[in-house]
Amino acid sequence: MNTHPSDELALGPVSKRKPSTAMNLSLFLPGLGQVYCGALGRGLLHLCAITALIAVVVFLLSTQSAPPKTIFITFAILTIIPTAYSAWDARRMALASREDYRLKDYNCLSVYVALIFLTLPLLTGLAFSVRENFLHIFAMSGSSMSPTFDEGDRIFVRKDSYLDRQPEHNDLVAFLNPANRRQTWVKRVIALPGDVLEIKAGIVHLNGAAIKEVSGVQLDKINLSPMTIPDHHCYVLGDNRANSRDSRQIGPVPMIALVGKAVSWR
């Protein structure tokens, strides 16, 4: 029995599904390759699943005190594997599709673009949320923290570190320069509220006793008269004392100015 031309038009034109196209679409956006192969529900399931997984992974990892390297590796594993599976599944569906596959109403560029533009804002929002609330990356400038951090080093700042607690002695903290809040500085916490601080020929004394400096700290010969650190403030110094502008010049740093705890990639 011959198919009437009007019936063929109603069913949609014939267009064999290409495995490479299906795979690449799902690599770009998981689920898009499945939609391309005519499985709208399956494609939306893949898309929703990977988006939800990314959201959960970002939330869980960002609230843990794991090193940034561990966070990034875990995030990569838990997102790359589902994406690779989605691409493999889309390729398999394309290979299994019939030669006379007829295009569905949603097999068009406008639908593919719409799915992309509906998803990208969500993923962008997740990335922005991480940057604003959990983990921020910026480049170190100057040599005030050498050899701990050198100029150009990428610094990872955990913004959630001091939400419910104050820093500890020797913490590396990022804070907004009270004199210019557009500048973010990284220094080491030396003294906390209530501590009595004194510096004698470069040797830091805390509550009457010389402290044990962290390995690598480069001392100078500066003196500082005894002072008590006020409430809600901390006293910070650079690790390269002779080339550091810190609390010796700007005074104790208000806790409210702390951006978070600075950590290395390791």
Among the three residues 109, 133, 157, which one is the final residue of a domain in this structure? 133
> Residue 24 is part of which domain span?
5-133
Among the three residues 117, 133, 149, which one is the final residue of a domain in this structure? 133
Structure tokens at 139: 């480049």
The reply to whether 147 and 249 lie within a common domain is yes
The reply to whether 65 and 158 lie within a common domain is no
The reply to whether 148 and 256 lie within a common domain is yes
Q: How many CA atoms lie within 13 A of 34 on its CB side?
A: 20
The reply to whether 119 and 176 lie within a common domain is no
| pTM for the predicted model, two decimal places | 0.62
Judge whether 21 and 94 are in contact, CB under 8 Å: yes
The reply to whether 78 and 164 lie within a common domain is no
Among the three residues 104, 133, 162, which one is the final residue of a domain in this structure? 133
Strand-pairing partners, residue 174, are 186, 260
The reply to whether 120 and 143 lie within a common domain is no
- Distance, CA of 146 to chain centre: 25
Number of domains in the chain: 2
The reply to whether 154 and 211 lie within a common domain is yes
The reply to whether 144 and 128 lie within a common domain is no
pLDDT at 5: 47
The reply to whether 222 and 124 lie within a common domain is no
Active site residues: 144, 187
The reply to whether 56 and 174 lie within a common domain is no
Q: What is the mean pLDDT of each run of 10 residues along the chain (266 residues)?
A: 46 86 92 93 90 73 61 76 93 90 89 85 70 74 90 84 90 90 91 96 94 90 94 96 93 93 74
pLDDT at 99: 85
User: Residue 205 — φ and ψ, nearest 5°?
Assistant: -115, 130
Cα separation, 69 vs 206, whole angstroms:
34
The reply to whether 21 and 100 lie within a common domain is yes
Residue labelled with tokens 């990892």: 61
